[in-house]
Amino acid sequence: MSQPPPHYILFSHSSTNSGAPSSILGHPTIQYHYANDSPLAIWPQRPNEHVLVLDYDPNSTKPPTVQSMSKEMAVTSLKVEEAPGAAAAHDNDPKNDRMYIIETTASDGYVNFA
């Protein structure tokens, strides 16, 4: 059996002005979407809402992909990093204690994730 995907998902945002990823990591709201769900559910529903789609197929050998459904935001990379302290809290848990970090940018340099 292969290792499960990272258990944690965080995001880092940078403006197009600085270009450098933020050192502040945010916690996105997670919503699971399955192949037989309506594709309309993944489009932003409110003004200033940004939807990122992380596509992970456990039966594929390809790495996961992530894309933005918002015209004001672009995904610049998807990284897998160590999640400091995560393994110590769950010594007997078989989950993958690494984390995905989704790096994003916006054309105006400001994005409200609230």
Asked whether residue 85 is domain-assigned, the answer is: yes
The pairing of strands 6-15 and 96-106 is parallel
The rounded distance, in Å, linking the Cα atoms of 17 and 89 is 38
The rounded distance, in Å, linking the Cα atoms of 61 and 17 is 36
Full residue range of the structural domain in which residue 12 is found: 1-27+50-114
What's the structural domain count of the chain? 1
Q: What is the pLDDT of residue 78?
A: 93
Asked whether residue 86 is domain-assigned, the answer is: yes
Asked whether residue 93 is domain-assigned, the answer is: yes
Mean pLDDT (the chain) is: 78
* pLDDT for 66 beyond 80: yes
Asked whether residue 35 is domain-assigned, the answer is: no
**Residue 6, Cβ density class (10 Å: 0-12 exposed, 13-18 middle, ≥19 buried):** buried
Asked whether residue 59 is domain-assigned, the answer is: yes
Does the reported pTM lie above 0.85? no
Asked whether residue 33 is domain-assigned, the answer is: no
The mean pLDDT of 58-82, rounded to a whole number, is 88
Asked whether residue 39 is domain-assigned, the answer is: no
Asked whether residue 94 is domain-assigned, the answer is: yes
Reported confidence tier of residue 84, pLDDT bands at 50, 70, 90: confident
